[in-house]
């Protein structure tokens, strides 16, 4: 009988790894405590950066209710702000995958302990663990899938990842509040052999197999895995020669080629269904609508207006970003003035020639329109925009997520959107 129960995962004796123990779990737990908090905060920032409060067009989770309590007007400086916050979000998320998996592995015996529920309090704790483990796997999986599969992932990514994050983080906070004191104690006393309450030793196998690697070695192994992922991801948001080290970065896709337009292309003109006949100089007109009416401008007309240059990156929600590119074009606030907005400019709705796709329209907030570096760009790095980067004209706004930098612009409507 004893032999039989030892063969079931509900028996502590079933779990033989000598690595499991409070210290191993505590080190990983403390790394996740810090890392996941940063993920949560940068994730919330990413959502705020989309301007969801401004227009339903920008909002992928219109039913968020109270969860939008913290939203604020995303600033336009420093101009690399979203590059930093979203680069950290995606790179850190990928880097933490081995830590998360090792942490879950280290506590797996606890999932099987009997009886499953000892008391009401114990029942609630187990329920929160279910949300914690399920939530962690769900958030990491949806995040990685979105980054890797890009638009293959259905449009439901945003609500799934956003609501999932709140459920998960609530469980995470509960868990952290309960466990952090013990985890800190375990790590502090790492080298001192102290008497420890039995409850904290319950992770230790009662009949361990002989060790093939030390706990420290196992931690190095996990850290090495994280380092490898970091090294093959970070390049996508660092740029320069490091871009080639970003083996894990998505989009083998469109080759941007070399030359002034030779930087990452998110979606090509062909993919977005842009008909070259519509963007031809003889046909294309920019329609600008505002307080005093409507103005139509050819690309030639736009080139006669005062032109300004700004060095700005493109930074995508997927974590990749470009280094600063030199954009040249007409200031958004000058276009507002053309249609009667003389003082502080209002909000702006930008629409593309593109007919289908979630990102063919975007709303910009008044503070973004007002920034002297916010442009309707006609050129990049001294050359006309290429068709894939948005010819004849595209929006570029400092510190904004790439999705707000609408390409192949057809229409701009100035006015209060709230
Ligand atoms: N019309 C239109 N504009 C668009 C998009 C789009 O799909 N359609 N994608 C946006 C996204 S998500 C990003 S990250 C940037 C990428 O710009 P790039 O392809 O020039 O690098 O364009 C933005 N502008
Ligand atoms: Mo993007």
CATH number of the domain that residue 313 is part of: 3.90.420.10
350 contacts: CB under 8 Å, gap ≥ 6: 361, 362, 363, 364, 395, 406, 409, 411, 412
Neighbours of ion ligand 2 (CB under 5 A): 316, 402-403
Over the stretch 309-355, which tens digit does the pLDDT of each residue have? 999 999 999 899 999 999 999 999 999 999 999 999 999 999 999 99
Say if ligand 1 is within 6 A of residue 265 CB. Answer: yes
Nearest-atom index, ligand 1, CA of 317: 14
Whether 125 has a pLDDT exceeding 90, the answer reads no
Pairing status of strand 293-297 against strand 286-290: antiparallel
Instruction: Mark which of 181, 210, 240 sits at the end of a domain.
Output: 240
Say if CB 378 and CB 392 are below 8 A apart. yes
Would you state the pLDDT for residue 403?
A: 94
Which of 257, 396, 402 for a ligand 1 pocket mutation test, highest count of atoms within 8 Å of Cβ? 402
Question: Are 302 and 184 in the same domain?
Answer: no
Task: Name the band, by pLDDT with cuts 50, 70 and 90, for residue 152.
Answer: low
Same domain, residue pair 214 and 137: yes
Q: Is the CB of 166 under 6 A from ligand 1?
A: no
Ligand 1 atom having least distance to the Cα of 395:
24
The number of domains in the chain is 2
Highest mean pLDDT among 1-10, 58-67, 357-366, 392-401: 392-401
Ligand 1 close to Cβ of residue 403 (< 6 A): yes
pLDDT at 148: 76
Same domain assignment for residues 227 and 91 = yes
> Is any atom of ligand 1 closer than 6 Å to the C-beta of 279?
no
In this predicted model, which residue has the larger pLDDT, 136 or 63? 136
As a whole number, mean pLDDT of residues 257-269 equals 89
Ligand 2 centre distance from Cα of residue 46 (Å): 12
Nearest CA to ligand 1 atom 23: 403
| Residue 392: pLDDT over 90 | yes
Choose the residue to mutate in 86, 155, 359, 396 for probing ligand 1, maximizing ligand atoms within 8 Å of C-beta: 359
Q: Give, in order, the Cα–Cα distances in Å from 164 to each of 238, 301, 379.
A: 29, 48, 41
Name the closest-CA residue to atom 5, ligand 1: 359
Range of the domain at 324: 286-414
In the sheet that 361-364 helps form, which strands lie side by side, from edge to edge? 293-297, 286-290, 409-414, 348-352, 361-364
Q: What share of the chain is helix, strand, coil (3-state, %, to 5)?
A: 45, 10, 45
Residue 132: predicted pLDDT: 93
Whether residue 26 is contained in a domain is answered as yes
Asked if residue 401 has its Cβ within 6 Å of ligand 1, the reply is no
**pLDDT tier at 156 (50, 70, 90 boundaries)?**
confident
Residue 212's pLDDT is 92
Does the pLDDT of residue 87 top 70, yes or no?
yes
DSSP state of 206: S
Domain boundary among 240, 270, 300: 240
Q: What is the pLDDT of residue 59?
A: 85
Query: Same domain, yes or no, for 174 and 317?
Result: no
Q: Which residues of 258-297 are buried (b: 16+ CB within 10 A; e: fewer)?
A: eebbebbbbbbbeebebeeeebeeeebebebebeeeebeb
Instruction: Give the model's confidence band at 35: pLDDT under 50 very low, under 70 low, under 90 confident, else very high.
Output: very high
Mean pLDDT value across the chain: 90
| N-term to C-term CA, the chain | 71
Lowest mean pLDDT among 83-87, 195-199, 397-401: 195-199
Section 2-7 average pLDDT: 68
User: Is the CB of 386 within 6 Å of ligand 1?
Assistant: no
- Asked if residue 276 is part of any domain, the answer here is no
Write out pLDDT tens, residues 280-315: 999 999 999 999 999 999 999 999 999 999 999 999
Give me the DSSP letters along 340-358: T--SS---EEEEES--SST
Residue 359 shares a structural domain with residue 235 = no
Q: Residue 114 has what pLDDT?
A: 82
Is the shortest distance between the CB of 359 and ligand 1 below 6 Å? Answer: yes
User: Over the stretch 187-206, which tens digit does the pLDDT of each residue have?
Assistant: 887 656 555 555 556 789 98
CA 404–ligand 1 middle distance (angstroms) = 8
Residue 20 confidence (pLDDT): 94
How are beta strands 409-414 and 286-290 bridged, if at all?
parallel
Q: DSSP letter at 163?
A: H
368 lines ligand 1 (CB under 6 A): no
């Amino acid at each position: 009988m004893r032999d039989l129960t030892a063969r079931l995962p509900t028996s502590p004796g079933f779990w033989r790894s000598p690595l499991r123990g409070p210290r191993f779990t505590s080190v990983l737990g403390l790394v996740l405590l810090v890392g996941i908090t940063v993920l949560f905060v940068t994730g919330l920032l990413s959502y705020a950066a989309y301007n969801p409060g401004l227009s339903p067009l920008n909002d992928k989770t219109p039913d968020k209710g109270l969860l939008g309590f913290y939203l604020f007007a995303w600033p336009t400086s420093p101009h690399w702000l979203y590059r930093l916050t979203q680069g950290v979000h995606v790179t850190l998320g990928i880097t933490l995958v081995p830590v998360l998996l090792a942490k879950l592995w280290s506590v797996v015996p606890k999932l099987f302990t009997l009886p499953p529920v000892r008391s009401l309090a114990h029942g609630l704790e187990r329920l929160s663990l279910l949300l914690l483990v399920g939530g962690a796997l769900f958030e990491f999986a949806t995040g990685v899938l979105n980054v890797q599969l890009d638009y293959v992932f259905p449009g439901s990514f945003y609500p799934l990842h956003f609501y999932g994050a709140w459920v998960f983080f609530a469980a995470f906070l509960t868990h952290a509040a309960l466990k952090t004191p013990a985890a800190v104690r375990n790590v502090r006393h790492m080298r001192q052999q102290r008497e420890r309450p039995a409850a904290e030793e319950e992770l230790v196998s009662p009949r361990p197999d002989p060790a093939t690697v030390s706990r420290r070695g196992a931690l190095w192994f996990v850290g090495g895995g994280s380092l490898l992922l970091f090294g093959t991801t970070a390049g996508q948001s660092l740029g320069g020669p490091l871009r080639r080290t970003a083996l894990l970065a998505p989009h083998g896709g469109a080759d941007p080629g070399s030359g002034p337009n030779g930087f990452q292309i998110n979606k090509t003109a062909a993919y977005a269904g842009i008909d070259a006949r519509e963007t031809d100089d003889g046909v294309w007109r920019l329609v600008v609508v505002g307080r005093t009416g409507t103005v139509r401008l050819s690309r030639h007309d736009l080139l006669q207006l005062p032109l300004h240059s700004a060095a700005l990156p493109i930074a995508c929600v997927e974590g990749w970003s470009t280094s600063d590119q030199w954009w040249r074009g007409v200031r958004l606030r000058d276009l507002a003035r053309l249609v009667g907005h003389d003082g502080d400019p209002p909000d702006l709705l930008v629409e593309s020639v593109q007919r289908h796709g979630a990102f063919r329209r975007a709303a910009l907030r008044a503070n973004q329109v007002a920034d002297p570096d916010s442009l309707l760009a006609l050129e990049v790095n001294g050359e006309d925009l290429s068709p894939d980067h948005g010819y004849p004209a595209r929006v570029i706004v400092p510190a904004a997520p790439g999705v707000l930098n609408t390409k192949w612009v057809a229409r701009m409507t100035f006015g209060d959107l709230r």
